[in-house]
Amino acid sequence: MMLYFLLLSIFFVTSNAVMDLGAPGYTCDPSLMAPSAVKPTNVHAVRPADINLVMAMGDSLTAGYCTDDTSGCHLEYRGLSFGGGGDRGLDNHITISRKTQAELSQIAIEYQQAEKAIEQSGDFDTTDDFTLVVQPWFANATLPYFANGTVNRAWWAVDCYHFSSYGHALLSSWYWKNLLQPVGDKISNANLTVPALPLACPDPSCPYIRTTKNSMNCQQFNGTCVSNGGSCTTGAQCCGGLCFNLQCM
Ligand SMILES: *[C@@H]1O[C@H](CO)[C@@H](O)[C@H](O)[C@H]1NC(C)=O
Ligand SMILES: *[C@@H]1O[C@H](CO)[C@@H](O)[C@H](O)[C@H]1NC(C)=O
Ligand SMILES: *[C@@H]1O[C@H](CO)[C@@H](O)[C@H](O)[C@H]1NC(C)=O
Ligand SMILES: *[C@@H]1O[C@H](CO)[C@@H](O)[C@H](O)[C@H]1NC(C)=O
């Protein structure tokens, strides 16, 4: 079975992009970075190492347009991209007037509130192979200013509009951190002057990509088992490859 994630206002971290920032020594406890013993069929029990395929929908920023071009814009650098959505406020900060910016900020706020409402509605939590999680790190982010108040141009590609690989990588570091933070405790005011280093590691008490359900109660997703029931702790039931504290449904 395929597991689908729909992640809004989010971006995907590529290891190459992160390396650009000089985080080659990224390590976490090996048990946290190992794939699940049994391939999860439950979207709330997916460890980072269980993920084989990532898809993103978005715009030219998502596609990494211009990222590594050195004169003019010619190509998409999808492999360097950090994903799509939520970036309009940042780009417009340097290109448009303050008034328009205020209007766009209002639209962005309403958009974020709508996303959050969909997440909280539970409309996407009716099956265990699909969920939706809002990653809010960009919502109240601090732009990449130097101490002297000027914007860090290294963030942008040659067209001064799309992100450079440095910009993508830095954004990815914050996005990665957000993915591993529980819903309700996700940072929403990333300081984009600096990358979120050292890169985040999964929480030992809930080493999964965090979802609404595993943020409320991770215990029920804690541990995999085989369907004949062998390996859950006493009192738990093996249901569909996971140990549950309740009866299987
Ligand atoms: C961002 O900050 C504004 C103003 O302080 C606040 O109203 C809003 O709730 C914050 N948004 C998030 C997602 O934290
Ligand atoms: C601000 O600081 C940055 C980094 O040190 C430097 O490159 C830039 O020239 C400075 N800008 C001004 C206006 O001093
Ligand atoms: C963001 O980080 C920079 C560099 O550490 C720091 O100088 C600045 O005060 C921070 N800004 C905020 C709003 O925390
Ligand atoms: C999950 O199990 C591990 C041991 O396998 C334990 O350290 C951790 O606290 C448990 N997490 C929860 C949320 O109970």
Q: Write the DSSP assignment of 23-77 as a string of letters.
A: -TT----HHHHSPPSS---SGGG--GGG---------TTTTTBTTT-SSS---B-
Residue ranges of the domains in the chain?
1-208, 217-249
**Distance between CA atoms of residues 246 and 249, nearest Å:** 9
Q: Record the tokens describing residue 117, joined without a space.
A: 């409402």
Consecutive 10-residue runs of the chain (249 residues): their mean pLDDT?
35 32 71 80 87 81 86 84 42 28 70 88 86 90 83 87 87 90 95 89 91 89 62 68 68
**Does the predicted model carry a pTM greater than 0.85?**
no
Pocket of ligand 3, candidates 137, 140, 142: which has the most ligand atoms within 8 Å of its Cβ, to mutate? 142
Position 10 scores a pLDDT of: 31
Q: Which ligand is nearest to the CA of 219?
A: 4
29 CA distance to ligand 4 middle (Å): 14
Whose atoms come closest to the Cα of 184: which ligand?
1
Per-residue model confidence (pLDDT) at position 82: 78
Please provide the DSSP assignment of 189-205 as one string.
Answer: --BTTS---SPP--BTT
Please tell me the distance between residue 22's alpha carbon and the centre of ligand 3 in angstroms.
20
Nearest CA to ligand 3 atom 10: 191
